[in-house]
Structure 1
Amino acid sequence: MKHLKKILCAMTAIVMALSFAACGEEESSEQDPVDIYLAAAEKTEALGDLDMTMDMTSTMDIEGESMDITYAIDAKIKDYNTDTMQLQMAMDMGLFGTEIPMNVYYNEGHYYIDAMGQKMSYSMDLQEMMTQMENQMGMGSYPEESIQSIEVSEDNKTLTLVIDGAVMSDFINQMMATSLNTTTDTADFTIGDIDCVITLNDDGYIETQTMDFTMNMNLDVEGSSTSFSMSIHADSTYNNIGQEVTIEFPDFSEYTDMGSFSDL
């Protein structure tokens, strides 16, 4: 379990990235389902502030051991997709029968973590990483070529998609390359096809999203290799859509500077 901390951080980043990647007038039932999805994703991505909750359950098999991991996440983002973007995220992780609370913040180029009695600060250009994600993913939506199948309900408010895991694997590998120490670390992710159900509200914004998928990872950190596989179920909800988000930061002077996030 030598690299468990880095694995758990990577897993959290991946699920959050896939959740945000999913992110008018009601269209007629004759409209193409892909067009309905892309319009909703673009409209949701254009929101300046986001308030999202997510519950995730997963089973990880690593080094011959199996463990269940749960996450309950409450995230608020202000000025999304701008140079002044801010993040406040409360997270409860369940591991080995123990609940581990964490608070995560992002402000002015620094990523702050308050967990297990430690307060740490890392330099991290989160906006640059998210901009790269946006460019790769096509304005915050799954790229059209990754959609293997899509069905829409009669009222155009429920979308059922299957997303090509190979396309998403390429995206995740590119994204994680920016957060690893590339001089010493390598990681290779393989994601299975993603089963996804998205619901829209009356105004055409994405309101909820459910994802089920499997993932395999080979991680080489400072010459030591670790492999694991896992199955993941995640439920995300966008709250107070279109409303301004207020973020409250703690006293960051209490956080110890740990250098670059890539050294985690």
Structure 2
Amino acid sequence: MKRLKRVLALTLAAVMLFTLGGCKKKTPEEVLEAATKKMSKVTSADMSGNIKMKMSSTSSTSSSLEMNMGLKMKATDMTSEDMKMDMDMTMGIAGQDLNFKAYYTDGYYYINYSGQKQKQKMDFAAMQKQMENTAGQFNTNAKNYKGLKMDKKGDNYVISFKLKEKALNDYVNKIMGQMNSTGVAGAGTNYADQVKFESMSGTMTVNKDSEITAQKINMVVSSKEDTKLKVKMILDFKYHNIGKDVKVTLPDDLDTYKEAPAASTTAPAATTAQ
């Protein structure tokens, strides 16, 4: 009996050692690396998001302006010239609500803004950049972050982060380029030279399948040219049905849209919404 107890104890100890050894705790860097690899293979998108922005001035005539923007976007064949996209965006600014719908198919970007329908010739590479900027996306490579922390919530990992200086500069150039309303006049501009980051941090949710399901970014920036101007932004995006079939809905009257000059790599949506 004593011998049997010893054998059972040794067996149990071996099982526990094997079990604990196999439960190596993942690091934030490992989770990010796996998510980056997985998301790079995704060819469709189904996302929704919200951007809140407050611009304030501390000059003698203090003033502030708030803007809320909500969007829904679906896209298919994102890695080929057969890509199709439909997007619905609502913008609230100065007490006024604006809405526009945008589409992409067959090398054209279509936009319906308050009944004004236009289309622009846009090559595939330019459209990819447009979508990245609109969605507030940035390179999720772990080397771009600092201060990584991670919590486990159910089956999900929630990673909190701050961006390194180079990643910040790349990101602000993306966002400011997206918001630039002067078209090609802004080409080549280093917007990071014009603004100062007071703070920038965020969280990213990664599910058990290494898919990024949500991102939230908080930033405060001020102008280097006008030190009294400050902008606070909160970007909150969610990604749905990752890796599954996505249905893009295009209107039947795209052939009635009036053609405008060909678009540059900056976002036509920002220009049209002026």
Give TM-score, length-normalised by structure 1. Answer: 0.72
How far residue 96 of structure 1 moved from its aligned partner, in angstroms, is 1.2
Letter in structure 1 aligned against 2:257: Y
Does 1:82 pair with 2:77? no
Task: Indicate conservation of the 8 Å contact 2:32/2:141, yes or no.
Answer: no
Give the Cα separation in 1 of the matches to 2:33 and 2:249: 33
CA–CA separation in structure 2 for the residues paired with 1:142 and 1:130:
17
Q: Which moved more, 1:103-112 or 1:68-77?
A: 103-112
Q: 2:205 aligns with which of 199, 204, 216?
A: 199
Distance in 1, matches of 2:165 and 2:113, equals 32
**Which residue matches 2:105?**
107
Counterpart of 1:144 in structure 2: which amino acid? A
Amino acid at match of 2:90: D
Q: Check 1:165–1:248 CA distance in 2 against 1; reply closer, same or farther (3 A cut).
A: same
CA distance in 2, matches of 1:133, 1:73: 12
Q: Secondary structure at the match of 1:209?
A: strand
Native 8 Å contact 1:148 1:163 kept in 2: yes
- Which runs of structure 2 are paired with 1:1-264 in the superposition (5 Å)? 30-61=25-56, 65-128=63-126, 130=128, 141-154=139-152, 157-173=157-173, 176=177, 180-182=183-185, 186=189, 188-189=191-192, 190=195, 192=197, 193-216=199-222, 229-250=230-251, 251-262=253-264, 264=271
182-191 or 250-259: which moved more?
182-191
Aligned residues of 1:88 and 1:248 also touching (Cα < 8 A):
yes
Residue-by-residue CA offset, 1:128-164 (whole Å, 9 max, x unaligned)? 4637999xxxx96334332112111146611111112
Letter in 1 for 2:121: S
CA RMSD of aligned residues (A): 3.6
| Aligned counterparts of 1:149 and 1:133: Cα–Cα separation in 2 | 28
Q: State the aligned residue count.
A: 228
Rg bigger for which structure? 2
Shift of 1:216: 4.8
Alpha-carbon distance in structure 2 between the residues aligned to 1:213 and 1:32: 25
Contact 2:216-2:237 within 8 A present in 1 as well? yes
Residue 174 to residue 204, structure 1, CA distance change in 2 (3 Å):
closer
Q: Could you tell me whether the CA contact under 8 Å between 2:172 and 2:191 is conserved in 1? A: no
Distance 1:216 1:188, change over 3 A: farther
Change in 2 beyond 3 A, CA 1:36/1:257 = same
- Say if 2:217 and 2:236, in contact at 8 Å, map to a contact too: yes
CA contact (8 A) 2:120 2:259 kept: yes
- Match of 2:241, SS state, is coil
Identical aligned residues as a percent: 22
Q: Aligned partners of 1:94 and 1:128: how far apart in 2?
A: 27
1:30-56 deviation per Cα after TM superposition (whole angstroms, max 9, x unaligned): 333112112113212311111000012
- Which is richer in strand? 1
Amino acid at match of 2:263: F
**Structure 1: runs of 5+ lacking an equivalent:** 1-26, 220-226
Give 1:83 deviation, angstroms: 2.1
| Secondary structure of the corresponding residue to residue 246 of structure 1 | coil
| 8 Å Cα contact 1:54/1:237 also seen in 2 | yes
Deviations 1:177-225 (A, max 9, x none): 9993148995624363531111122322111111111345689xxxxxx
Shift of the alpha carbon at 1:118? 0.9
Q: Which runs of 5+ in 2 are unaligned?
A: 1-21
Instruction: For 2:92 and 2:174, locate their aligned partners in 1 and report how far apart those are by CA, in whole Å.
Output: 28
Q: Is the 8 A contact 1:52 1:236 kept in 2?
A: yes
Match of 2:49, SS?
strand
Normalising by structure 2, report the TM-score: 0.70
Checking the alignment, whether the CA contact within 8 Å between 1:149 and 1:161 is kept in structure 2 is yes
Alpha carbons of structure 1 residues 185 and 59: separation in structure 2 relative to 1, 3 Å: same
